[in-house]
Amino acid sequence: MLEFQMSWQGFLYKGNKLENYVHKAVLLEEAVKALITRCDGSYVDCTYGRGGHSRAIALKLASAGRLLVLDADIEAISHARNFFTDDSRVVVEHSRFSKIRELTEKHEFRGLDGVLLDLGVSSPQLDNSARGFSFQLNGPLDMRFDSSEGTTAAEWLRDASEKEIEHVLKNYGEERFSRRISRALIAARDASDIETTKNLSDIVVKSVPSIDRNKHPATRVFQAIRIQINQELNELSRCLEEVVGLMNSGGRIVVISFHSLEDRIVKHFFKVKATGDDFPRKFPIKDADIYRPLKIVGKPVKASEEEIQVNRRSRSAIMRVAEKMPC
């Protein structure tokens, strides 16, 4: 069994099996550089995955620094618990990131200096057919980040109305054939339940009139259903709202998104918080009296050609950074 140990600043990390480190962290250096403004600060990695970002953050922190690690996925969290066992600076919680307020209060993080969200799905989730995230691997149609609760994609497809399915495919997948596909799904489920990723993928392939050579026809459908099952956009909006109130002045929010729906939410949220409340034009308030809780830091960052060469997943990544302003 391949195992390794890494020691740095007196913190000994007992490694897991090397084969567990199959997620290549995206925009790793850029994200950690933007996030850490003080090495004795308090940080939250909302999306541990396989810990690429968390490990890099921990390496930058001094002994007084603290890191709260979250993930909705129990496999990610057992990886984190294993990895950070001997590091008293790090606390690990199995949770959705919308609960960030409750968790920072529980662990007495008084004021955050940085919060990282590296959104979406990790490679270990995609590569495990039993999780049902990939149309390229046949497996049960699950798609939950947290397999311990909630509705699976198969259950949702069994119970949702045609209108609801169409709405999800259109709004969360930006799928132009949403109507045809939802109709085909309803017809197929009347014959037998749609229980596997292959069942779903086959129905989509048969129902679309044209095939894009560069994209599998089920790509958008899988994305849409995954977003619905995990309520990904609501989670993101709720977390961002909470985070602003939890940050110390000068603290940074760093968000890496992988599709335009997520990025639009982040971009809009940062813009609104950086512009301040929208008062009517003649409202008697001076510009100087408008509180703008965030300042946008730099331009959106994309992966370099070199990174895309070694990690294709990074090609769609976009990172935005904002800083908390003094009250």
Least Å distance between CB 71 and ligand SAM? 5
- CA nearest to 236, candidates 221, 219, 217, 253: 253
Query: What is the rounded CA–CA span in Å between residue 294 and residue 216?
Result: 39
Taking a C-beta distance cutoff of 8 angstroms, is the pair 118, 256 a contact?
yes
Contact 55, 32 (CB under 8 A): no
Closer residue to ligand SAM, CB minimum distance, 97 or 177: 97
CB 318 within 8 A of CB 300: yes
Compute the residue count for the chain. 327
Our finding on whether 259 is near ligand SAM (CB under 6 A) is no
Q: Exposure string (b/e) for 54-80, b if CB count within 10 Å is 16 or more?
A: bbbbbebbeeebbbbbbbbbebbbebb
Least Å distance between CB 122 and ligand SAM? 4
Return the residue of 32, 41, 43, 53 that touches ligand SAM, per CB under 6 A.
53
- Is residue 101 a contact partner of residue 246, using CB atoms and an 8 Å limit? yes
Query: What is the rounded CA–CA span in Å between residue 229 and residue 115?
Result: 24
Return phi, psi of residue 203, to 5°.
-65, -45
Among 68, 70, 194, 200, binds ligand SAM (CB under 6 A): 70
Residues 208-237 that bind ligand SAM (CB under 6 A): 230, 235
The DSSP bridge pattern shows strands 247-257 and 112-118 to be: parallel
Tell me which of 52, 114, 132, 251 binds ligand SAM, using CB under 6 A.
52
- Between CA 14 and CA 21 the distance in angstroms is 13
Confirm if 263 and 276 have CB atoms less than 8 A apart: no
* Listed ranges 64-72, 81-89, 283-291, 294-302: which one lies at the site for ligand SAM (CB under 6 A): 64-72
Return the residues of window 286-325 that contact ligand SAM according to CB under 6 A: none
Minimum separation from the CB atom of position 113 to ligand SAM (A): 18
List binders of ligand SAM among 95-154 (CB under 6 A).
96-97, 118, 120, 122, 145
Alpha carbon distance 154, 152 (integer Å): 5
Instruction: Report if residue 71 touches ligand SAM, rule: CB under 6 A.
Output: yes
What are the residues facing 44 on neighbouring strands?
68, 115
Q: How far is the CB of 291 from ligand SAM (least distance, A)?
A: 28
Q: Is 204 helix (H, G, I), strand (E, B) or coil?
A: helix
Closest to ligand SAM by CB, 236 or 244: 236
CA-based nearest residue to 224, from 288, 275, 289, 156: 156
- Based on CB atoms, which residue is closest to ligand SAM, 41 or 52? 52
Is 25 a binder of ligand SAM (CB under 6 A)?
A: yes
Q: Which is nearer to ligand SAM, 32 or 204 (CB)?
A: 32
Interface with ligand SAM (CB under 6 A), residue from 30, 32, 35, 51: 51
Pick the binder of ligand SAM from 32, 43, 50, 178 (CB under 6 A): 50
Within 164-183, which residues bind ligand SAM (CB under 6 A)? Answer: none
Nearer to ligand SAM, 66 or 96 (CB): 96
Which range in 10-18, 43-51, 182-190, 319-327 contacts ligand SAM by CB under 6 A?
43-51
Q: Which residues bind ligand SAM (CB under 6 A)?
A: 23, 25, 46-47, 49-53, 70-73, 76, 96-97, 118, 120, 122, 145, 230, 235
